[in-house]
A and B are shown apart, each in its own frame.
Chain A
Amino acid sequence: MKTMRGKISIAVTIITVCTGFFAVSAYEHYQKLDKIQDDIHVSLYLRSYANEIENRGIDPKQNPKETTEYFRKWRLSITEKSRNEAISNLIQALNTFNKDLRKKRFSELQETERRFYEFTAQKIQIQKNQFQLLAMITLALPVLGLFFFAYYLNNSIVRPLHRLSQRMMDFLVDRYTFKLANPENNEIGDLQRTFNSLAQRALNNMDELKALDRAKSEFVSIASHELRTPLTSIKGSLGLLSAGIVGNIDQESLGLIRIAEQETDRLVRLINNLLDLAKMESGTFKLQKEWISVQTLAESCVDSLHGLAQTANVLLEIQPPDHALDASLDKDRIQQVVTNLISNAIKYSPKKQAVILSFFINENNLLEIAITDRGAGIAEHDQQLIFEKFRQGTQPESKLVKGTGLGLAISKALVEEHQGVMLVRSKIGIGSTFSFTIPEWRLSESSQTSNGVAA
């Protein structure tokens, strides 16, 4: 039921009827007063004419017909009986030419007129009072109506709309624990009910998404557990065999066992990487940030890859900036990224060339860590593809490091977890530079002091 529309119509009708009634009544009063005014005019003419005859001594004998005609005409326009009679008597007296009788009739007429003025004054006063009362009543009703109407509008439209908009604002800032109570049976109520349904649906969707998210994390957790358990036995058995703990093994068998061990490790890395990616995609990944010297981080990355670089006959260099820098980052994770980028660079670097690890503050005032090689370079159309999962360059796999196909994808994701950006600049035949940015950095305090001492 649309009661609000009905209520507004009733209010508008009441106000219109009251105003109309007042207008009609006012017009009637005006007509009545108009009539009284006419009467007064006639009386004034009558009086001035009669006075002229009486005072100036105009003899009606000279112009009897015209004189009596005037009086007769005025008599006709007067409805009041006593005045009518008085004028009629005067006309007769004028016609008889009797001076005494005329005088007498004049005084009668004067008396009648005096009473007429008194009576008219009373009549006007009554009309005035009636009009005032009517005006008060007919104006008070619409004003009262308007007052209640405004009250009604405020209560049934303005306030509910305000409440509704507040709930919507709550919804925007993720405060979902609400429901608009008892919507009324009108248009605003309909709006509230619609909003309740929409909010409920949004909440249901959100619950479903949360359930889906939980199911995904649970799956990842269980899958990783189930994959790691058999790998523990395999890795453990191979380790016992290769370490000679359970007895000596000939060289050829040992070689085979080592291969199995390496591949097991690769499988473990792959599972760990997949898990990390899954965690980052579901937003459950947490960084353990701390302030750390970038130089120390760079050195520990280079140290860990020293053996690999030597085997590949590639030089590893660090190019530090003028001022020592600290950065807020997850040490293990950024080390993982840098190590991944350096080992890739070693993999594709020509022999006896250098792979350079540099870090500096770039033009956007961000810390940038860059790894440059003198390798074959990457074609432009491949430069974004290499960050996708299980994508590798077209070059044959190096025997030094076998990748999991997730290295760059996970590096990019880890950099993005730090609110950084992964960049690649490469030219065919010249080499490649992989770099990433870290937004949180500062000049090292220790370096500032040492610089001060040196200066």
Chain B
Amino acid sequence: MKILFAEDDSNILMIAKLILERVGQHDVTVAVNGREALDMALANRYDLIILDGMMPELSGTEVCRQYKERAPAGAPVIFLSAKSTQHDIQEFMDLGVGYIQKPFNPQTLCQQIDTILKAAA
């Protein structure tokens, strides 16, 4: 799968990229802020976009909102966030196809993504 992964924390970015590449055998492109993520999502074709909830420039939810507006038939979006209030989770579920809570389990991250995508399909 061609995945766009947007995350402002460089450590998490590195670890998640490693997991997705080594465990899931995915082709991962990274973005380090919301603006970059939106530009890349609109310029290229991806199978999946994973967005951090809180990022500088544009928040993950704002990126998703604008992306869906400009590319309605675009890739599915999964949020990966440390936020856990009912309100935040509801917003993620309404905008994207799913939500994964940080800290994620590195062994099961790829399975979690598959499950969400299967449920959304």
Contacts and interface: CB of A to CB of B under 8 A. Distances in A.
Interface of A: 217, 221, 224-225, 227-229, 231-240, 243, 245-246, 264, 268, 272, 275, 279, 284, 286
Contacts of A286: 86
Interface in B1-57: 9, 11-12, 15-16, 18-19, 22-23, 54
A228 B18 CA distance: 19
Given A240-B15, A240-B19, A221 B104 contact: no
B15 A237 contact: yes
A272 B15 CA distance: 22
Given A245-B19, A246-B18, A235 B106 contact: yes
B85 A228 contact: no
A335 to B, nearest CB: 17
A239 B84 CA distance: 22
B102 A228 contact: yes
Contacts of A284: 85-86
Nearest to A286: B86
A245 B83 CA distance: 28
Contacts of A236: 12, 15-16, 19, 103-104, 106
Contacts of B85: 217, 221, 279, 284
A150 to B, nearest CB: 58
B19, B82, B104: most-surrounded residue (chain A CB, <10 A)? B82
B64 to A, nearest CB: 18
B103 A268 contact: yes
Contacts of B104: 232, 235-236
Nearest to B8: A229
A333 to B, nearest CB: 13
Contact residues of B: prevailing secondary structure: loop
Given A237-B15, A272-B84, 6 more contacts: A221-B84, A228-B102, A232-B103, A235-B106, A237-B11, A286-B86
Contacts of B23: 243, 245
Nearest to A272: B84
B86 to A, nearest CB: 5
A245 B22 contact: yes
A385 to B, nearest CB: 30
Contacts of B16: 236
A45 B102 CA distance: 128
A154 B21 CA distance: 84
Contacts of B84: 221, 224, 272, 275
A221 B86 CA distance: 11
A235 B18 contact: no
Nearest to A224: B84
B19, B86, B102: most-surrounded residue (chain A CB, <10 A)? B102
Interface in B46-100: 54, 82-86, 88
A284 B90 CA distance: 14
A232, A234, A235: most-surrounded residue (chain B CB, <10 A)? A232
List the 9 closest pairs (A to B, CB-CB), nearest first.
A239-B106, A236-B15, A228-B82, A233-B11, A232-B103, A235-B103, A225-B82, A232-B102, A231-B103
A243 B82 contact: no
Nearest to B15: A236
B82 A240 contact: no
A227 B106 CA distance: 18
Contacts of A279: 85
Contacts of B86: 284, 286
B24 to A, nearest CB: 11
Contacts of B18: 240, 245-246
